[in-house]
Amino acid sequence: MLSEFSLIDRFFARRAAAQPSDTESGALGIGDDCALLAPRPGEMLAISTDMLVEGRHFFADVDPQALGHKALAVNLSDLAAMGARPQAFTLAFSLPKADETWLAAFSAGLFALAERYECALIGGDTTGGPLNLCITVFGSVPPQVALRRDAAQAGDDIWISGALGNARAGLGVQRGEWQADADDAATFRRALERPEPRVALGLALRGIAHAALDLSDGLAGDLLHILERSNLQATVDVDAVPRSAALRRLSPAIQQRCTLAGGDDYELCFTAPASARAAVQNAGREAAVPVTRVGTISALQTAADRPAIGWRDAAGAPLTLTLQGFDHFHAD
């Protein structure tokens, strides 16, 4: 297995060693039993872990460079949703064989994103086995401004970054569920394979937003997490949910399915007081990401009420939607 080892060393350890060392946090990286890491002074480490499995989170024939990007992007997205500044990550993976071309492309996609966010590879583990990627990511955040799920308040606006549904539309085109022209198909595919973590927006929303999370499983399911943790309910204007021009060219039914129950978008969904509307718009401009107000948070009305989302059309009339949860690529 020596050849595997030296390949992995070539593609990961040496590149990790070439990273600028973070003198502020004094990180000790790859090559010891543990890496050493500290948050910035007065801050805490925000930590998230995600495992990606072939056949479940990506197809066996996925472009390895896109996979390297996405494996880290979905983790950085969790930092963004916490308002944390990326700092470092560990990478553990099993793979059936050490394919040099594959590893070169995968590591290129991974490090291109890591370097863009100054997020250093500080440790890892590699082994033979069915293809499986496990990344744990570390960011730094002052705990008092961390964007927690349990911090929404009655009266808050509900906001969404970017546009929803493109990733699910891309999966539908790939699966042959529906068709799109070549340009739109490319837009959708890019959203599915190359999600952009909203790190800058998460940082800009510190002290402005109350609660936040990233949309990995679809708005209907994910917003419910905020409601359950904050013990509140929500009203969402279905037609206000932002979508791309490409998605608007698909049928209204597909648009609704992709925007509300899609998933894999990795946009932020967050709440903020109505008094902060200008500040939220300003944060969006600062981060160069559009932000759209789609609804409001309210208190539960009776002791029997459960956290839930009330869907409305543009005229404010209630809609009864049958939304299949987790209607996207990873069925878990």
Confirm or reject binding of residue 124 to its own copies (CB under 8 A).
yes
With b for 16 or more beta-carbon neighbours within 10 A and e for fewer, the 293-323 pattern comes to bbbbbeeeeeeeeebebebbeeeeeeeeeee
Closer CB to its own copies, 28 or 319, in the complex: 28
Q: Which of 6, 17, 21, 31 binds its own copies (CB under 8 A)?
A: 31
Cα gap 260→295, rounded to integer Å = 13
Q: Which residues contact 190 (CB under 8 A, 6 or more apart)?
A: 166, 170
Confirm or reject binding of residue 28 to its own copies (CB under 8 A).
yes
With b for 16 or more beta-carbon neighbours within 10 A and e for fewer, the 6-22 pattern comes to ebbeebbbebbeebeeb
> How far separated are the first and last CA of the chain, in Å rounded?
34
Q: Residue 246, SS3?
A: helix
Dihedrals phi, psi of 6, to nearest 5 degrees: -70, -30
With b for 16 or more beta-carbon neighbours within 10 A and e for fewer, the 114-152 pattern comes to beebebbbbbbebeeeebbbbbbbbbbbbeebbbbbebb
Confirm or reject binding of residue 289 to its own copies (CB under 8 A).
no
Cα gap 10→21, rounded to integer Å = 19
Confirm or reject binding of residue 210 to its own copies (CB under 8 A).
no
Confirm or reject binding of residue 233 to its own copies (CB under 8 A).
no
Range in contact with its own copies (rule: CB under 8 A) among 121-129, 153-161, 274-282, 314-322 = 121-129
Confirm or reject binding of residue 99 to its own copies (CB under 8 A).
no
Closer CB to its own copies, 51 or 185, in the complex: 51
Confirm or reject binding of residue 82 to its own copies (CB under 8 A).
yes
Confirm or reject binding of residue 276 to its own copies (CB under 8 A).
no
Token look-up 């959708």 returns: 188
Q: Which of 17, 36, 299, 319 binds its own copies (CB under 8 A)?
A: 36
Beta carbon of residue 50, minimum distance to its own copies (angstroms, whole number): 5
Confirm or reject binding of residue 213 to its own copies (CB under 8 A).
yes
Q: Which of 145, 174, 231, 326 binds its own copies (CB under 8 A)?
A: 326
Cβ 319 vs Cβ 311: under 8 Å: yes
184 belongs to an annotated ligand binding site: no
Confirm or reject binding of residue 55 to its own copies (CB under 8 A).
yes
Q: Which of 16, 122, 180, 287 binds its own copies (CB under 8 A)?
A: 122
Q: Which of 7, 10, 22, 53 binds its own copies (CB under 8 A)?
A: 53
Closer CB to its own copies, 56 or 248, in the complex: 56
Q: Which two tokens stand for residue 225?
A: 């997490």
Closer CB to its own copies, 80 or 113, in the complex: 80
Q: Which of 15, 69, 70, 149 binds its own copies (CB under 8 A)?
A: 149
Q: Which two tokens stand for residue 155?
A: 């009266």
DSSP 45-99: EEEEEEEEEBTTTB-TT--HHHHHHHHHHHHHHHHHTTTPEEEEEEEEEEESS--
| Residue ranges in contact with its own copies by CB under 8 A | 1, 4-5, 26, 28, 31-39, 43-51, 53-57, 78-79, 81-82, 84, 90-94, 122-130, 132, 134, 136, 138-139, 141, 143, 146-150, 212-214, 229, 326, 330-332
Q: Which residues are annotated as a binding site for Mg(2+)?
A: 33, 48-50, 78, 125, 214, 217
